[in-house]
Amino acid sequence: MRSFRRVAVPLFVAGALGWPGVIPATHAQVSEDTRVVEGQVVNGTAGGGSVDGLAVVFHEEGISRHDHRRANSDADGRFMFDEIVFDPEMQYGVSVDYRGAFYGTDLDLSQGSPPASITVYEVTDAEGILTVSTASILIGEVDEASQRVRTLEIAKLVNATDRTYVPGPDPMGMVRFGLPSGAQGLQVSTNLLGADVLQVDVGFAITGGVPPGEHDVMYAYDFPYSASQASFARSFRYGAGNVRVLVPLEVARISSRDLEGPESVDIGSRSYQLLTASDVPRGSRISFDLLDLPRASLGDRLGRSAGQVPMEYIAPAGLLLLMTALIGIALWMRGLARPVFVSGMGDGAGNEVERDRIIHEIAELEDNYEGGGLSETQYRRRRQALMARMAALATRGPARPG
């Protein structure tokens, strides 16, 4: 199976990984509107090593240029970049590579010269430090013509230690997630820095390190079904504190011997069936069955046999729309401690209208970017603003029946 890479990461990753055509930052003259970035590298591991002499990289990314320059940290980990000509159309960040792991942060220079702090950690290849606190699986929609189910998963990967997990030389040590049999059209988004994605027959692997803290891994794909039912089964390499499975009521019925439920959950104006499980052990497998799926018509079956375009070429646009439309669900799941009945994502009809408007804008943005109408910088900036609006809307306080 071919590998697929689509990983969302902050801007400074691009420069550190080596953009084609990157040139050293030079300025013929220094504008009055200049900045000085001063910061410090700190080792967050108790008793960790020295941060003296680390190569800190300052990144400037714009539509037409990608510049970077370097400075070494001193014995206290301090560094400085001066004579930075501020351009509101540019984005800025600092990064450092420490013991094979990548760290960094974006910088907002619009209000002046903020201090920059980068925390690094000692490393370990002990995979046992990784856990998943919450795993959410959402069955989005069904393409009855191709008989494939579109699915979104959100995993919260946790490293509760003060060391960064870095895989050893064994490829099996990479961070891995399982996929159901026949999965295609994989799309992955994660906030892990310097990450790359490799798809294999039974799932996918993420290269790079996992620093202390909680990290989101969001991935979408589709998998096949036959007749009017499908069996979903996959392993949980890192276990899971909580597993949630959501299936729209109008898409299919759901049943499982491994999960509790289903229970009825309303999110916005749509009704879902919810299956749950808690304290899933490492290496466990869970499965559920989707029943009463729509059957392909005779015309659909004949069209497929005549040579239909593979699903992997037509799924991404729909999956991207699905992923963006369900950001509110991801935020809601973040605070879900037990199954509850939620009547809406906001505090009234106005929130519902605003949420639908944001979803529509996100969908248009994705289409424009995929069609080449936006640069990477324009796309990221606009999407970040829309996500902020969605997050703010979701935190206004959902109305719940007493």
pLDDT of residue 6: 44
Residue 333 has pLDDT above 60, yes or no: no
Q: What are the beta bridge partners of residue 175?
A: 206
pLDDT in tens, 52-100: 999 999 999 888 778 899 999 999 999 999 999 998 888 999 999 999 8
- The answer to whether the pTM exceeds 0.75 is no
Q: How far apart are CA 75 and CA 285, in angstroms?
A: 49
For tokens 């040579």, what's the residue? 307
pLDDT of residue 344: 32
Residue 101 confidence class, pLDDT cut points 50, 70, 90: very high
End-to-end C-alpha distance for the chain, whole angstroms:
50
* Amino acid letter, 262: P
pLDDT in tens, 196-228: 888 876 889 998 899 999 999 999 999 999 888
pLDDT in tens, 346-401: 344 455 556 556 666 676 776 677 677 777 666 666 766 666 565 555 444 443 33
Residue 153 has pLDDT above 80, yes or no: yes
pLDDT of residue 266: 87
Contact of 62 with 91, CB cutoff 8 Å: yes
pLDDT in tens, 270-318: 889 999 999 999 999 999 999 999 876 555 544 444 333 333 333 344 4
Instruction: List Cβ neighbours of 160 (8 Å cut-off, separation of 6 or more).
Output: 129, 131, 212
Look up residue 294 and give its two tokens: 């729509």
Q: Compute the C-alpha angle 396/356/369, nearest 5°.
A: 115
Q: What is the mean pLDDT of the chain?
A: 76
pLDDT of residue 358: 64
Listing DSSP states for 130-146 in one string gives EEEEEEEEEEEEEETTT
Instruction: List Cβ neighbours of 115 (8 Å cut-off, separation of 6 or more).
Output: 38, 39, 40
Among 91, 121, 93, 119, smallest CA distance to 105 is for 93
